[in-house]
Amino acid sequence: MTKRALITGVTGQDGSYLAEFLLEKGYEVHGIKRRASLFNTGRIDHIYQDPHEPAPKLKLHYGDLTDSSNLTRILQEVQPDEVYNLGAQSHVAVSFEAPEYTADVDAMGTLRLLEAIRFLGLEKKTRFYQASTSELYGLVQEIPQRETTPFHPRSPYAVAKMYAYWITVNYREAYGMYACNGILFNHESPRRGETFVTRKITRGLANIAQGLEQCLYMGNIDSLRDWGHAKDYVRMQWMMLQQEVAEDFVIATGVQYSVREFITWSAQELGIELTFSGEGVEEIATVTAVSGDRAPAVKPGDVLMRIDPRYFRPAEVETLLGDPAKAKEVLGWVPEITAQEMCAEMVTEDLKTARRHALLKEHGYELPVALEG
């Protein structure tokens, strides 16, 4: 029997990799996409299947995590074996600007999905994966963080995700549902949203290298993160739903770097050597050498990075480092792609786009470069 999966957030970074992964495994994949005034399927266009074709394996449904009746109807129609709840207002800084909406989507949206599964009598058939997060640890109580480390969320996003975490556990305990949390540490890729820190850096520096932008404006570059590759992490999401018993897992690399280090690697990928000087909001990164042909618009002495306090958060998560020992021991999962390899891949992809834009600009077709991050 062909297995059927339903993915919320299929148009996002993880949703796109997971859809690819499940299609390769022979699944029929259903995804929920939001209605938007512009096309929002850029990350999954390459796997799109014309609904007019006989038996398409990828099917998209309009929907929203704020709309219970819509979720119930889609679940009834699809009758999925597996639900992956990846949909979310996923930006921590934005959650301070839109806390109520973030709670509605990230916390209540999870409840709506679980309740729809129960209401339809699917609780013994449908397995449920919840995209939980290392942001739950917030003000960290233990280093490294593992499944048993106490939570101390530091943003409206993290608080909403904490509700989602516990309601998932509760539906498992109360109704015997196969429902589990993947507590995922930061994971990135060339498909990462443009305003998360890694992509902001790789895209920004690639644009600077090609003369499309002048300077990168950053927030807290002392922040430490445990960065993995989204491809490795979606494999683990699937593995978590294939066990005998539903359990929660920390997914991380077990290695930590600073935002400053990520800037240094990205610049090096472009042949740029940087020196950081100054302190606090006065800190800058200056070019000391340029080699190769990847950054023709950059010369020694250029200041490529400055601090802009507007990117500071009202409450910061200074440091995150995960312990993936349980995932390794129980599931045999280990990440295959290092943070440095991932950074190189992201820079290379962003440089291709920047070169295309630079070429268009040279021929009089200037495209707007969004600078907001």
Residues forming the site for ligand NDP (CB under 6 A): 8-9, 11-15, 32, 34, 36, 40, 64-66, 86-90, 105, 131, 133, 184, 186-187, 193
Element (H, E) at 239: helix 230-240
Q: Which of 20, 28, 123, 135 is catalytic?
A: 135
Q: Does 256 bind ligand GDR (CB under 6 A)?
A: no
Q: Identify whether 135 is a catalytic site residue.
A: yes
Closest CB to ligand GDR among 4 and 199?
A: 199
Q: Which of 311, 326, 344, 348 binds ligand GDR (CB under 6 A)?
A: 311
Q: What are the φ and ψ backbone dihedral angles of 275, each rounded to 5 degrees?
A: -120, 130
Residues in the chain: 373
State yes or no: residue 134 binds ligand GDR (CB under 6 A): yes
Q: Nearest 5 degrees, angle CA 250-CA 168-CA 114?
A: 135
List, in sequence order, every residue forming a beta bridge with 307; answer none if it has no partner.
218
Residue 61 interacts with which of ligand NDP, ligand GDR, none, CB < 5 to 8 Å by class: none
Q: Measured from the CB of residue 9, what is the shortest distance to ligand GDR in angstroms?
A: 11
By a kind-dependent CB cut-off of 5 to 8 A, residue 243 interacts, out of ligand GDR, ligand NDP, none, with none
* Position 133 contacts ligand GDR (CB under 6 A): yes
Respond yes or no: is residue 163 known to be catalytic.
no
Least distance (Å) from ligand NDP to the CB of residue 43?
Answer: 8
Q: In whole angstroms, what is the distance from residue 200 CA to residue 218 CA?
A: 9
For residue 237, the partner it binds in ligand GDR, ligand NDP, none, with Cβ less than 5 to 8 A by kind, is none
Of 126 and 186, the one with the shorter C-beta distance to ligand GDR is 186
Considering only 225, 229, 231, 260, the residue that binds ligand GDR (CB under 6 A) is: 225
Residue 66: name its binding partner from ligand NDP, ligand GDR, none (Cβ under 5 to 8 Å by kind): ligand NDP
Output the DSSP codes for 246-264. Answer: ---EEE--S--EEHHHHHH
DSSP string of 5-19, one letter each residue: EEEETTTSHHHHHHH
Residue 144: how many CA atoms within 13 Å on its side-chain side? 20
Rg for the chain, CA atoms, rounded: 21
Q: Is residue 101 involved in binding ligand GDR (CB under 6 A)?
A: no
CA separation, residue 23 to residues 17, 19, 47, 188 (Å)? 10, 6, 9, 21
C-beta closer to ligand NDP: residue 236 or 358? 236
Other beta carbons within 10 angstroms of residue 215's beta carbon come to: 16
Binding mask 12-41 for ligand GDR (x = CB under 6 A): ------------------------------
- Is 102 among the catalytic positions? no
> Which of ligand NDP, ligand GDR, none is residue 40 near (CB under 5 to 8 Å by kind)?
ligand NDP
Please say whether the beta carbons of 313 and 222 come within 8 A.
no
Torsion of CA 128, 130, 131, 137, to 10 degrees: -150
* b/e burial code for range 91-110 (CB count within 10 A of at least 16 → b): bbbbbeeebeebbbbbbbbb
Residue 245 CB, nearest distance to ligand NDP (Å)? 23
Q: Binding to ligand GDR (CB under 6 A): which residues in 180-199?
A: 185-186, 195-197
Q: In terms of DSSP bridges, do strands 216-218 and 272-277 run parallel, antiparallel, or are they unpaired?
A: unpaired
Q: Is 276 in the site for ligand GDR (CB under 6 A)?
A: no
Phi, psi of 22 (to 5 degrees): -70, -35
| 89 in contact with ligand GDR (CB under 6 A) | no
5 touches ligand GDR (CB under 6 A)? no
Residue 200 in the binding site for ligand GDR (CB under 6 A) = yes
∠ CA 134-135-138 to the nearest 5 degrees? 110
Contact criterion met (CB below 8 Å) for 36 and 60: no
Active site residues: 133, 135, 157
Task: By CB under 6 A, name the binding residues for ligand GDR.
Answer: 90, 92-93, 133-135, 185-186, 195-197, 200, 218-221, 223, 225, 259, 311, 313, 316-317, 373
